[in-house]
């Protein structure tokens, strides 16, 4: 028996740093049983009944438990760091791709 499956949620890259910034504070509020509310542009996050929170952006909303949020905090920090490194390297990668696209010859290496 299969349950109802929700389509995967795709986070815009602009929200990664916002989530990484606000999620630890949201988790702290949930642990203490306090209310938390955040509104930034098209992004909203707030505590709801029990130890859970609702995150809404664009036309998507999720309700996550404290344990899911803590797991997300751990992973989102790594993703935010990787995105920051990507932004630093983006110009170099783009220049390398453009250089490769202009190349008219290819000489294979003898190295295996």
Neighbours of 10 (CB within 10 A): 8
pLDDT in the model for residue 2: 60
Cα–Cα distance between 112 and 109 in angstroms, integer? 8
Q: What is the mean pLDDT of the chain?
A: 85
For residue 82, what are its two tokens?
A: 């990787």
- pLDDT confidence of residue 4: 66
Q: Would you say residue 52 has pLDDT above 90?
A: yes
**Tokens in use for 53?**
């929170």
Count of CB atoms situated within 10 Å of the CB of 70: 15
């Amino acid at each position: 028996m299969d349950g109802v499956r929700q389509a995967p949620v795709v986070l815009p890259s602009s929200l990664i740093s916002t989530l990484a910034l606000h999620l630890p504070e949201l988790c702290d509020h949930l642990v203490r049983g306090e209310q938390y509310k955040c509104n930034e542009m098209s992004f909203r996050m707030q505590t709801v009944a029990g130890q859970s929170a609702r995150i809404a952006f664009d036309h998507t909303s999720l309700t996550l438990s404290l344990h899911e949020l803590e797991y997300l905090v751990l992973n989102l920090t790594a993703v935010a760091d990787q995105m920051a490194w990507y932004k630093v390297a983006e110009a170099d990668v783009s220049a390398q791709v453009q250089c490769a696209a202009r190349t008219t010859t290819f000489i294979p290496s003898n190295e295996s």
